[in-house]
């Protein structure tokens, strides 16, 4: 398949075909003949989609992207021998994360040999079906649907900044004294977001009411402002993705289970308004511009640099 992709994109020569069985070579030539009319750029796109299609259907597509707390929660319900057989299928570094979460030794896991390779394959596939696939998107581009490609720490930064704006919007009607007291308790890097939230809350009463419903689920006084902001941010993103549960679940699976659950356990009363998805994407751009998110890293995740990216709702 890799050779096929090369042939689609690059110049085809008889020398390359000599490495393929004659029957397959003739069949391949006929297939490739159909693509000759396309320019090289189009063939590159076709090649990338083909590779994406293959990757999306391989065994265990990027399961290591799922936070280990989600994995261990499922493993706790399994027989110990079944759990060991499952853990042994993961790469060694990820095995150590899971073992640590389960309170086991951080040595590489060795299953008991109780199951044959074929049976382990079936067990592992059943286990993987407990989760939404973390496969690479076929059409990469910055959107909420591809936000799960972010690192855990970057998602935490984003959710906190989104939540601070929402928290500020919720308290707009409380008066300037309360707002001044609140903003003074945030670190400097969050104050801009708070003030942006105050401004938008004053301009849009409906969104202010929605923000108040979301913020009302947590008590900032008892849990701390930043922790409350983080969880409110999770609720907001979950609300935007309320009708796209697979997208919401992928993002949730990147985070510790106690936080990711807040993103997917959203009720209908918190449901989003149309403009909120655009606002979250604009927040990402703002965080990149302020160097709260690494521009080079974010650019590396997507096919188009941030400066020229078309934000996809």
Res 53: pLDDT: 56
Contact 199, 169 (CB under 8 A): no
Lowest mean pLDDT among 52-56, 68-72, 193-197, 276-280: 52-56
Q: What's the pTM?
A: 0.72
**CA dihedral sign, ordered 262, 267, 270, 273:** positive
* 137-151: average pLDDT: 84
Res 50: pLDDT: 66
Contact 230, 163 (CB under 8 A): yes
Burial of 103 (0-12, 13-18, 19+ CB in 10 A): exposed
| pLDDT tens digits, one per residue of 236-270 | 999 999 989 999 999 999 999 999 999 998 876 66
- Integer Cα distance of 82 and 87 in angstroms: 9
- Integer Cα distance of 206 and 238 in angstroms: 19
- Residue 143 three-state SS: strand
Q: Could you give the residue ranges of the DSSP H alpha helices within the chain?
A: 2-9, 14-17, 22-33, 40-56, 68-75, 80-87, 92-102, 117-128, 152-170, 176-184, 188-203, 205-215, 220-223, 225-240, 245-253, 257-264, 276-289, 295-301
Res 20: pLDDT: 60
- Integer Cα distance of 313 and 54 in angstroms: 26
Which of 114-128, 243-257, 271-285 shows the highest mean pLDDT? Answer: 243-257
Res 135: pLDDT: 82
Q: How many CB atoms within 10 Å of residue 73?
A: 12
* 131-138: average pLDDT: 84
Q: Where are the domains of the chain?
A: 2-56, 63-128, 144-308
Q: At what angle do helices 152-170 and 225-240 cross, to 10 degrees?
A: 100
Contact 210, 220 (CB under 8 A): no
Read off the tokens for 161.
């900044």
| pLDDT tens digits, one per residue of 169-192 | 888 877 788 788 878 878 788 888
Res 213: pLDDT: 86
Read off the tokens for 75.
């493993």
Residue 126, beta-bridge partner list: none
| pLDDT tens digits, one per residue of 60-87 | 567 889 999 999 999 988 888 888 888 8
| pLDDT tens digits, one per residue of 211-225 | 888 888 887 777 888
Which position has the higher pLDDT, 95 or 71?
71
Residue 312, beta-bridge partner list: 143
- Integer Cα distance of 166 and 181 in angstroms: 16
Question: What percentage of the chain carries pLDDT values higher than 70?
Answer: 79
């Amino acid at each position: 398949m890799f050779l096929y992709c090369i042939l689609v994109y690059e110049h085809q020569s008889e020398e390359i075909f000599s490495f393929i069985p004659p029957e397959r070579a003739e069949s391949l030539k006929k297939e490739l003949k159909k693509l000759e009319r396309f320019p090289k750029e189009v063939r590159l796109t076709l090649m990338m989609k083909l590779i994406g299609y293959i990757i999306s259907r391989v065994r265990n597509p990027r399961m290591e992207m799922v936070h280990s707390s989600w994995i261990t929660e499922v493993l706790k319900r399994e027989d110990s021998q079944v759990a060991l057989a499952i853990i042994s299928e993961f790469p060694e570094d990820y095995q150590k994360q899971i073992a640590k979460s389960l309170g086991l030794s951080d040595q590489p896991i060795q299953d008991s040999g109780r199951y044959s390779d074929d049976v382990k394959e079936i067990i592992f596939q059943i286990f993987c079906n407990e989760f939404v696939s973390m496969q690479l998107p076929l059409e990469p581009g910055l959107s909420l649907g591809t936000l799960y490609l972010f690192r855990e720490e970057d998602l935490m930064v984003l959710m906190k900044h989104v939540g601070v704006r929402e928290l500020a919007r919720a308290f707009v009607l409380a008066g300037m004294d309360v707002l001044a007291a609140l903003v003074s308790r945030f670190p400097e890097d969050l104050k801009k977001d708070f003030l942006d939230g105050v401004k938008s809350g004053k301009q849009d009463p409906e969104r202010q009411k929605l923000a108040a419903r979301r913020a009302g689920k947590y008590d900032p006084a008892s849990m701390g402002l930043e922790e409350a902001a983080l969880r409110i941010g999770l609720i907001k993103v979950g609300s935007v993705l309320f009708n796209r549960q697979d997208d919401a679940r992928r993002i949730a699976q990147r985070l510790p289970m106690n936080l990711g659950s807040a993103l997917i356990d959203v009720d209908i009363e918190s449901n989003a308004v149309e403009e909120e998805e655009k606002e979250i994407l604009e927040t990402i751009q703002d965080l990149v511009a302020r160097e709260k998110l690494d521009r080079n890293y974010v650019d590396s995740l997507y096919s188009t640099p941030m400066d020229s990216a078309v934000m996809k709702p």
